[in-house]
Chains A and B, each alone.
Chain A
Amino acid sequence: MTAACAKRICLLMFLSLLVTACGKSTDDKQSPLFSGGDEKVTDSLVLRRGNGEEPQTLDPHRATGVPSANILRDLFEGLTTETAGGNIIPGAAHRWNISADGLTYTFYLDPLGHWSNGDPVTAQDFVFGLRRSVTPETASVYAGMLAPIKNATEILAGEKMPSALGVSALEEFTLQIHLTSPTAYFLGMLNHSATYPLHQVSLRAAKGSFSHPGQLVSNGAYQLTDWAVRSFIELKKNPYYRGADSVRIETVRFYVLPDQSTEIKLFRSGALDWTNDVPIGQYQWLLENMADELVLNPWMGSYFLGFNLSREPFRGNKALRLALALAVDRDLLTEKVTRFGEQPAYALVPPGSPDYTPQEPEWASWTQAERDIAALEYYAQAGYSEDKPLVVEFRYNTSENHKKVALAVSSMWRQKLGVQSHLINEEWKVFLQNRRHKVLTQVFRAGWISDYNDPVSFLDLLTNISGNNDFAYNNEDFNSLLLQASQERIPLRRRRLLQAAEAIMIADQPLVPLYTYVTKRLVSQRLGGWQHNVMDHHYSRYMYFNDKGSESKSESESGNSSAELTTEPAAEIVEKPPAEASSEGG
């Protein structure tokens, strides 16, 4: 009887499995992946990229986050695009004219541009895309980027119809965009997913699910062929792409791998060619065992600490803010704590912005011992001493790295000044809410990674009208300089205005820049054609496999003087010269 009972239970479970196995074929077409020694995935025409989290969406106008952006760059092409090294070059538009006042851009589309279904890419597709991006119902997170286009802000606020947007199709392949103010970074912005065109017919036919495989029609080098949720997204070469002949990788798979330890194991077992990241605790091991594959590169992102200037002890106390900024030994922090070649930072804007010099305070060139002496003086000037130490709350969001940085900085403050910091670890959304409310925060961790390569992306954080000004910083001179810069179209003058604004802000020290981010990943030595760039934009269409391995790879990279192969120890990272984002079109 007992055996019969056990048999029945087993049978029940087998049945449930059978139901499962039958059920999956109808709904979910999951293709093989990561099958170790499987021939299919080691085929040299399949590029396997680790891509972090599951992308939120592949609707270019609703997309946010790096995982979506990486895939969308392969799927779509904006009016401009980038070289492998990150320079802005003509994309879907092969040339353009800019009016003398910098307010009207006329783009001439490449007549060879085609959608993945063979239809030509027309100016009307761009008009449709840009209008859709700012339509309130689209609920695009990045639509705010389009504010320089005439009437975009009013449409977003529901005050005008989308048809009022300053974008028009003059002819089939001629597009005109009117701006409200000359925007120096406008061409660079046209590479962002919020500006991508859309294929109207397929969008309307597919209704809500147009971004699914089989429905999504794209104009980039690749088309979407498979999407196994939380597993991988597969793209295949778009045969109608205007540059299809030069695209050498037939299939790209972006794997969803939020866990870096899992990713690194897959890479080691040969199931990945490119990782999104590496585990922060394994620097030494990677350096000793995988130095040839480890790639570190400066990134257009800043890691800093913010002060809440709307409450004590930082309100109106510049001396205290300076004391704390001076007492942080950034070299020690990056060499001993973060350890992945992060660059010590004294300015908010990271190096690498075109035609811009980040504005460091004078004391950035001092030795740390000199800074420590000055820190003590400012600390005393602020009204604090050994007997009356500063007691401050230091908030950061849950993360191993943030914790290490917070511990290191607070011990530097304690050792040098006697500051008593209470470290408060908060869950991400709680942390964001507290920062935004500016009621509880005193010192808080912050970081910023730019969406487009322009100093404004960083400096805009601190204007009085910015929604991201969690510092409650408000300096009229700073605001006014940024406003003037937004109206200025002569690059040299604009650069001076922006530099002056940053210098004013850094002198006020509403924040403490700590370091410039680096991208860190493992890349197969078989993979060539990619280059370092501060924006960390890597298009699969430039990549290729070279079975000769590292020898050929270095050949391919030495051909480009702007790229530096940085598999050397972190401290020896060489910064790439600023990318040229200026117009290369007409």
Chain B
Amino acid sequence: MLNYSLRRLAWAFPTLLLLITVAFFMIRVAPGGPFDSEKNLPPEIQQNLNAKYHLDEPLVQQYFRYLGQILRFDFGPSFQYRDWTVNQLIARGFPVSLSIGALAMLLSFTLGVGIGTMAALRQNNVLDHGLMGFAMLGISIPNFVIAPLLILVISVYWGWLPSGGWEWNWRNMVLPVITLAMPITAYIARLMRGSMIEVLHSDFIRTARAKGLSEFTVIRRHAMKPALLPVISFMGPALAGLITGSVVIEKIFAIPGIGSFFVQGAMNRDYTLVMGVVIFYGALIILFNFLVDLIYAWLNPRIHYK
């Protein structure tokens, strides 16, 4: 297991290097530059800006300069938010995204697993159809429809919760967390129902029931663990996605997370910011996939890593 873990971690470096290289050259290929605006800059000012940010150097030299910076965990200054470095921006935005994302995942996991299990136990029953219909609705309605509806009713009409903005306070978290959690809950519920039904039809469950165990014990002790496997493999990348912020949620609720950096950075050709968040997101995906594999081995006794 230790060997496997070390090997996986060793592979993470070439993967990240590939990611950095592809992202670095792709963003540079995009037309236009970070300082383009409707008001064109005089050539001498453009030259001064390029010199300040080393954009006047050959691309390969810029690439190696950037790699050197990355080794020192320095993502460089942002081109768009000029008073801040990319490190500072991520350090300020990530806690916000992490809180909202992790809470949403916690809510989705708890509700999704519960709903999925209930639906599986009452397969093809009214409850099953009702819950799965609700789940389908949750997956189909985009969050940019749900969010404004929630804001309108709960904040504007009833005045119960703030309609947007951010502070470290549960009141500001409720609506974004619910909006973010709804489709994930629905997806997990459907996954859980499918896998639970499959597990409930397997031989070892029949054996457990034959032993005379109560249905509750059969589910809790024998069915839950294998049924969770597909949910866990979905949760790894989903969690990485959730905790790095959602552009839509951040925009609608005016939340200062890091999700908008992906879009804003690309639109503004903020090379360093885009690279920073891409590397950060890439590293998280690698980490969570690795954790999912470890949890898999723990949940499924048939899996052994060498």
A and B from one complex: yes
Question: Is B102 in contact with chain A by the CB < 8 A criterion?
Answer: yes
Which residue of chain A has the shortest Cβ distance to B53 in the bound complex?
A: A139
Interface bits A236-259 vs B (CB < 8 Å: 1, else 0): 000000000000000000011111
Pairwise interchain contact A27-B45, C-beta atoms closer than 8 A = no
Question: Is A424 in contact with chain B by the CB < 8 A criterion?
Answer: no
Pairwise interchain contact B95-A28, C-beta atoms closer than 8 A = yes
A169 CB, min distance to chain B CBs, angstroms: 26
Residues of A within 8 A of B169 (CB): 32, 35
Question: Is A559 in contact with chain B by the CB < 8 A criterion?
Answer: no
Residue from A137, A157, A255 within 8 A of B52 (CB atoms): A137
Residues of B within 8 A of A57 (CB): 81-83
B94 CB, min distance to chain A CBs, angstroms: 8
Pairwise interchain contact A228-B256, C-beta atoms closer than 8 A = yes
Which residue of chain B has the shortest Cβ distance to A154 in the bound complex?
A: B44
Which residue of chain B has the shortest Cβ distance to A135 in the bound complex?
A: B48
Please classify how large the interface on chain B is, using the bins under 10, 10 to 19, 20 to 34, 35 or more: 35 or more
Which residue of chain A has the shortest Cβ distance to B77 in the bound complex?
A: A208
Pairwise interchain contact A467-B43, C-beta atoms closer than 8 A = yes
Pairwise interchain contact B162-A271, C-beta atoms closer than 8 A = yes
Residue from B42, B52, B93, B166 within 8 A of A144 (CB atoms): B42
Pairwise interchain contact B148-A261, C-beta atoms closer than 8 A = yes
Question: Is A204 in contact with chain B by the CB < 8 A criterion?
Answer: no
Which residue of chain B has the shortest Cβ distance to A270 in the bound complex?
A: B159
Question: Is B91 in contact with chain A by the CB < 8 A criterion?
Answer: yes
Pairwise interchain contact A433-B31, C-beta atoms closer than 8 A = yes
Most chain-A Cβ atoms within 10 A of its Cβ — which of B41, B171, B224? B41
Interface residues of A in 133-160 (CB under 8 A from B): 136-141, 143-144, 153, 156-158
Residue from A2, A143, A429, A430 within 8 A of B224 (CB atoms): A2
Residues of A within 8 A of B102 (CB): 13, 16-17, 20
B interface, over-half SS: helix
Interface residue tally for chain A (C-beta within 8 Å) = 76
Residues of A within 8 A of B164 (CB): 34, 262, 265-266, 271
Residues of B within 8 A of A17 (CB): 98-99, 102-103
Pairwise interchain contact A27-B260, C-beta atoms closer than 8 A = no
Residue from A30, A56, A141, A255 within 8 A of B80 (CB atoms): A56
Q: Given contacts A156-B45, A229-B89, are A23 and B162 in contact (CB under 8 A)?
A: no
Residues of A within 8 A of B163 (CB): 34, 36, 262, 265-266, 268-269, 271
Q: How many angstroms between the C-alpha atoms of A139 and B162 in the bound complex?
A: 41
Residues of A within 8 A of B36 (CB): 429, 432-433
Pairwise interchain contact B45-A139, C-beta atoms closer than 8 A = yes
Interface bits B27-41 vs A (CB < 8 Å: 1, else 0): 000111101111111
Pairwise interchain contact A36-B162, C-beta atoms closer than 8 A = yes
Residue from A10, A229, A261 within 8 A of B92 (CB atoms): A229
Q: Given contacts A209-B83, A429-B269, are A35 and B156 in contact (CB under 8 A)?
A: no
Q: Given contacts A16-B98, A229-B256, A255-B254, are A269 and B162 in contact (CB under 8 A)?
A: yes
Question: Is A212 in contact with chain B by the CB < 8 A criterion?
Answer: yes
Interface residues of A in 45-75 (CB under 8 A from B): 54, 56-59, 62, 64
Q: Can you sample 25 A-B contacts with CB below 8 Å?
A: A5-B298, A20-B95, A21-B99, A32-B169, A34-B167, A62-B82, A136-B44, A136-B51, A137-B48, A139-B45, A139-B49, A144-B45, A156-B42, A259-B254, A266-B163, A266-B164, A269-B156, A428-B267, A430-B32, A432-B38, A433-B31, A446-B38, A467-B40, A467-B43, A468-B39
Binding site for B on A (CB under 8 A): 1-3, 5-6, 9-10, 13-14, 16-17, 20-21, 23-24, 27-28, 30-37, 54, 56-59, 62, 64, 136-141, 143-144, 153, 156-158, 209, 211-212, 228-232, 255-259, 261-262, 265-266, 268-269, 271, 427-430, 432-433, 436, 446-448, 467-468
Q: A2-B225, A20-B102, A157-B44 given. 15 additional CB < 8 A pairs?
A: A34-B163, A35-B165, A136-B51, A144-B45, A156-B48, A232-B165, A257-B254, A262-B164, A265-B155, A266-B165, A268-B163, A269-B162, A427-B267, A432-B32, A467-B43
